[in-house]
Structure 1
């Protein structure tokens, strides 16, 4: 299994705070945020990592050459143009194995990953995603699944309780290969709806409220150190 980490965003909302580094390498609790995300995924058993890079991607390439993660394969794949979340994933398929865990490089949701990875053993399943329950989905949009947990669609933003997309996915590589194309695309708006239209079985792993951080805003950056110290610092070697 391969982890593909989407790390190509420009981080426009916080670029003025950290103008010289790509968003995933912003220092949090004394280490690049990408260290903490990789530590979390490695703790779940991942050993092969591919980082889809764009803005200032050469810095992530240099980071991959470091020796902070012995026993792990880490490489980066640079976008020639901005490809979005879907295009960034498709651009990494040649470096991926039969199953692919996909995560955003600027956030981490600390729930459900073991159950998500266990979907590889379920016959007829092509992948899935972690859904987190929130009291109000109006800021996110929500997930619509059937009684068997199969994803039906992404709902538009509307008030009310429900499950929202955590941004952590699992896909069978064979389900992604027919979608390969040139140019930008979105996982939520393009690739996943196309997989559902083709009859692919994508399961929702339903989870209660869970610790989550996304470092994409100045407000979130103010909380990031405390989040890492509370939830992730134990993963770092002494």
Structure 2
């Protein structure tokens, strides 16, 4: 996938779990003996992604030091580049800020979540169908913490529903985009992917297919989910 770059959003403070690991950013929380971000980058490398941009903010220097060691460990299989936010830009603003360092297609994912899904077939599907992008959705028994995706009968994304209890198809936090669809967005603006970027893209008639992941999913955003990380990683890898 020579025309694909990955942007990993790793700049958040992790407010809900800050008391557990106050001295490190959330993506560096240990899981199975390694920082969680190790497994995120390993997930990408094993799926053929060789160009990775880490979007950093809170305690960026901790991740920068780790990334230098990780690059040496990867021995050329992939390249990790670090890009610090000039100020907190939100998930959408962080993506826009990284685009100049990316190839023609961009895969976006969070530095604090993982799912059991492939990306190669989805990437080729998007390209061959002439779509603008894709989002991976995950079926969960309780969508109250995440909010749900609204999908049309054609399988394309229609929008995001408010958080509500009960089963639903949630945003898995992994996206594939044609980079050129972001040409109209301003750099250095605070934006959210769900509240700003996606609504603007859909209003402009962007075609974004929803791919449903039937595998497992973990977001280490709460103390309850952090304790599941070791087992999840050991099963996934």
What's the TM-score, normalizing by structure 2?
A: 0.92
Secondary structure, counterpart of 1:200 in structure 2:
coil
RMSD, aligned α-carbons: 1.5
- Alignment match, 1:235: none
User: Deviations 1:141-172 (Å, cap 9, x if unpaired)?
Assistant: 22112222111111222344331110110111
What are the residue-to-residue correspondences of 1:45-194 with 2, within 5 Å? 45-66=48-69, 67-71=72-76, 72-194=78-200
- Alignment match, 2:211: 205
Q: How many equivalent residue pairs?
A: 231
Secondary structure, counterpart of 1:139 in structure 2:
coil
Q: 1:33 aligns with which of 24, 33, 36?
A: 36
* Structure 1: runs of 5+ lacking an equivalent: 233-238
Moved over 6 A (4+): none
Moved more, 58-67 or 94-103: 58-67
Counterpart check, 1:222 vs 2:199 = no
Contact 1:113–1:130 under 8 Å retained in 2: no
Cα distance in structure 2, aligned partners of 1:189 and 1:178: 16
Secondary structure, counterpart of 1:183 in structure 2:
coil
Contact 1:116–1:129 under 8 Å retained in 2: no
* Structure 2: runs of 5+ lacking an equivalent: none
Counterpart check, 1:24 vs 2:27 = yes
Cα distance in structure 2, aligned partners of 1:220 and 1:161: 18
